[in-house]
Amino acid sequence: MTRPAEAAAAWLARIPEDQRIAAQAATDWRFAAWLSGGVILLGACVIVSRTDLLGRVRLALEAERPRPWLTGAAAGCLLALILAALKALIDAVTDSRTAEILGAGDGGLARQLAHAAAAIAPDVFAAAVLAPPLLWLMRRLPRTWPLIAGSLVTALIVAAVWLPYALSVGAPTTPAPPGPVRDGLVRLIGATGIPAHDVLLATDPAVDADVSGGFGQAKVVVGPGLAAGPPAEARAIVGHIMGHYVRNDILIFSLVMGMVMLLGCFAVAGFAAPLARLIGAKGVASPAEAEALPAVAIILMLAVSGAWLAGAGYLRWANVRADAYSLEYAGEPDGLASVIEQEWDHESVDPSPFEEALFYTHPALTGRLRHAMAWKAAHGG
């Protein structure tokens, strides 16, 4: 083994081997559960389509005259109820088994089920509110609706993910107390040229560190844990987060997700009707029909998965860059390795490429430690 690889292995060895093995088993299980869950949800859409469940809802509601808004709401609710209930069941089984593998507390299925079931009502409500106007838009503007709906979704993602970050909405803070951690971070602000005026201390112990902002200003926050620890660790992690700030990673991540959802809307416009006919709704001519909803749901689920894969892929790349930024400006490879290890989320330390693509927003632990140790060796460490 080369010297950096040995150093990385030494960092990795600080995590007990049984924990690393359990993490691999948990990641393997979650991957299998995700695939099976996807097949179950897609299968449910096919069954709803083949049994013409939504067509029957339409016939019952439209016996006297067409009521597209009411039918859209009812069909959307029913399909959302079926899919959200299945999703809650899949999530509960996935999470309870994961907790069991990791030996983490009470993985009880009943408790997980109650937790997951809380998402059903909001999903059904959202379908009731969103399906009728979306179907109306599809009927009114069959060509341009994907652009309108996709742009709205993108704007919503940016507003929900990036805007709070740009406005530095977060836990309450006070000025950080004087000391080596504060001094180290003030030097880091000077070295990077980040437009922050002070180092702030979050009063919430759950806060680790944060660098947020936009529009030419930045807010640098450390949590109480980091503030009381070694300055090298605070500098390493804050340097990493500064890397995200400098590269606008949160905005780009939001836009990447939004763009894939926009493509998803165009895919619904182009493929939902033929897909609906393929899975049993023979008479469907437009994605705006109630009977086309299962096909619309299939394409939207694939689009959401695609948006996540693209967003996570961007973040993995951005996190390599943020680690490099931290090493360049903070120059604390051991601090970075230590923080990376402390923040380990009990995912496999060396996953398969498929597992990494699906579950990881940061490169796996082994690769990140190697990167830090390679930098250390190259800089005389």
List contacts with Zn ion (CB under 5 A).
Answer: 319, 322
Q: Would you say 115 or 316 has its CB closer to Zn ion? A: 316
Strands (DSSP E) contained in the chain are: 173-175, 199-202, 209-214, 217-222
Residue 199: strand pairing partners: 220
Q: Would you say 152 or 357 has its CB closer to Zn ion? A: 357
Token representation of residue 223: 């949590």
We find the least distance from the C-beta atom of residue 362 to Zn ion, in angstroms, to be: 6
Strands (DSSP E) contained in 71-196 are: 173-175
In angstroms, the CA 246 to CA 214 distance is: 10
How buried is residue 344: exposed, middle or buried, by Cβ count under 10 Å (0-12/13-18/19+)? middle
We find the least distance from the C-beta atom of residue 151 to Zn ion, in angstroms, to be: 28
Q: Would you say 237 or 260 has its CB closer to Zn ion? A: 237
Q: Which residues of 70-84 are buried (b: 16+ CB within 10 A; e: fewer)?
A: ebbbbbbbbbbbbbb
Count of other CB atoms within 10 angstroms of residue 350:
15
Q: Would you say 45 or 322 has its CB closer to Zn ion? A: 322
Nearest 5°: CA angle at 332, between 370 and 178? 150
We find the least distance from the C-beta atom of residue 233 to Zn ion, in angstroms, to be: 15
The residue behind tokens 């299925």 is 109
- C-alpha dihedral (325, 358, 122, 164), degrees to nearest 10: 10
CA 108 from chain center: how many Å? 25
Which residue is nearest to Zn ion, using beta carbons? 319
We find the least distance from the C-beta atom of residue 239 to Zn ion, in angstroms, to be: 11
We find the least distance from the C-beta atom of residue 39 to Zn ion, in angstroms, to be: 32
Q: Would you say 88 or 236 has its CB closer to Zn ion? A: 236
Q: Would you say 237 or 307 has its CB closer to Zn ion? A: 237
Asked whether the beta carbons of 245 and 213 are under 8 A apart, the reply is yes
We find the least distance from the C-beta atom of residue 188 to Zn ion, in angstroms, to be: 16
In three-state secondary structure terms, 252 is helix
We find the least distance from the C-beta atom of residue 310 to Zn ion, in angstroms, to be: 17
Q: Would you say 101 or 336 has its CB closer to Zn ion? A: 336
